[in-house]
Amino acid sequence: MEVAAEPGNLAGVRHIILVLSGKGGVGKSTISTELALALRHAGKKVGILDVDLCGPSIPRMLRAQGRAVHQCDSGWVPVFVDQEQSISLMSVGFLLESPDEAVVWRGPKKNALIKQFVSDVAWGQLDYLVVDTPPGTSDEHMAAVEALRPYSPLGALVVTTPQAVSVGDVRRELTFCRKTGLQVVGVVENMSGFVCPHCAECTNVFSRGGGEALARLAGVPFLGSVPLDPELTRSLEEGRDFIRDFPKSPAFPALSSIAQKV
């Protein structure tokens, strides 16, 4: 029997996945977005909570920029990004007056908003809530973990690029998970080689295999290697549904299979 969700909290959410990366630009928001789309195409109901307060890019990636968040009796109503209403999104991007506006807040104000995103959003019944976090391990991560912990199962998915320096940053992420008692769902290696569209040969632009080696060393699951894919970049720029529209692209197999492993 389905238990009705308490209005305005996460009681109706079955799995929460925090997406972490050691630094910016490694594809954390990309993996969050594509994971949500792949889960949705697998028939799941998905929410995305964008707590990357200083760089909220998910609304753009899902062509939801400029949409408004409304209030209802049980709190904020997240924005539905698809007609079927199977992906809902909450982001600070919806609260800013323009996409170019910067969030210049000190830690306590950011932490308060993160707590509010957890307690005051009417998420309803979800199979998965994907939480896109800022890069690194900051106060915001602590605020998110503290606010979300009562609603476990709470897991972390760690994104890295293959080169050693990024892998080194990820080691710190894994330490953060251990210290905060977060279960690591797995590591994803992104930008893992480039498949030439003309000859199909793979060039390892940033080397390859660092993410898998790290996962093995840390004893956590390895979820896959996502290659650099210009069609993925284009799809994100245009706010398109990559999983639906680009099934023949090099990044498709890895991105769609991550959703089966979380």
Binding stretches for ligand ADP (CB under 6 A): 21, 24-30, 57, 190-191, 226, 228-229, 232-233, 236, 251
Neighbours of 184 (CB within 10 A): 20
Q: Which CB sits closer to ligand ADP, 145 or 228?
A: 228
Flag whether 27 is marked binding.
yes
Through-space distance between the first and last CA atoms of the chain, rounded to whole angstroms: 24
- CB-based contact 250:227 (threshold 8 Å): yes
Is 211 marked within a binding site? no
Q: State in angstroms the smallest separation of the CB of 58 from ligand ADP.
A: 9
The DSSP call for residue 161 is -
Nearest CB to ligand ADP, comparing residues 70 and 234 = 234
Cβ count within 10 A of residue 195 = 15
Quote the least distance from Cβ 25 to ligand ADP, whole Å: 5
SS3 state at 251: coil
**In this complex, which beta carbon is closest to ligand ADP, that of residue 122 or of residue 131?**
131
- The residue among 122 and 258 lying less far from ligand ADP, judged by its C-beta, is 258
- Closest to ligand ADP by CB, 79 vs 236, is 236
Closest contact distance (angstroms) between CB of 133 and ligand ADP is: 9
Residue 110 assigned ligand-binding role: no
What sign does the dihedral 204-219-35-259 (CA atoms) show? Answer: positive
How far apart are CB 50 and ligand ADP at their closest, in Å?
Answer: 10
DSSP assignments along 73-124, one per residue = TTEEEPEE-STT--EEEEEGGGGSSSTT------HHHHHHHHHHHHHSB---
- Known binding residue 25? Answer is yes
The minimum distance between CB 181 and ligand ADP, in angstroms, equals: 24
Question: Residue 224 region, left (φ>0) first, then alpha (ψ -120 to 50), else beta?
Answer: left
Residues flagged as binding site for [4Fe-4S] cluster: 196, 199
Residues flagged as binding site for ATP: 22-29
Residues flagged as binding site: 22-29, 196, 199
